[in-house]
Amino acid sequence: MSSIWLAGHGLTQSETTIDYPRPDRLVAGNPKRLTESLYEHPNMNCGIWSCEAGAWNIVFADNKQEFFQVIEGVVRLHDSKTQSFVEIKAGDAGIIPPGFTGTFEVLEAVRKYFVVVEA
């Protein structure tokens, strides 16, 4: 039998972790990033992520993808293959597909729900 878990009712909240973009990937600023992991599974992690304005290059493995919904703020995802970008603001959702390479740019301090899945 499976169970349904509701935020605040059974989800395990870990401590908030703080990190910064790796120096070799940094494009602009040095934004502080906070991650609240709400649920972890061997192939999945979900929670709330927030970040100050700034930009850095990202490289997703071929077996990793992320769904997210912006709660507040504005981000741009720049695709290095197509040389295009998409702007995602509060209320919008986005997906970072497997094998994605590009730049994650935070235009306005952001908070988002995230679900990262690794196959």
Q: In this predicted model, what pLDDT tens digit does every residue of 102-118 receive, in sequence order?
A: 999 999 999 999 999 99
Angstrom distance (rounded) from CA 27 to CA 33: 15
Whether residue 53 lies inside any domain: the answer is yes
**DSSP bridge pairs for 113:** 48, 69
pTM of the model: 0.87
Whether residue 60 lies inside any domain: the answer is yes
The one-character DSSP state at 1 is: -
Q: In this predicted model, what pLDDT tens digit does every residue of 89-99 receive, in sequence order?
A: 999 999 999 99
Distance of CA 108 to the CA centre of its chain: 15
Yes or no: say if 69 and 112 are a contact pair by the CB < 8 Å rule. yes
Whether residue 3 lies inside any domain: the answer is no
Spell out the residues 6+ positions from residue 83 whose beta carbon is closer than 8 angstroms to its own. Answer: none
How many domains does the structure of the chain reveal? 1
Angstrom distance (rounded) from CA 67 to CA 30: 24
Q: What is the span of the domain harbouring residue 91?
A: 17-118
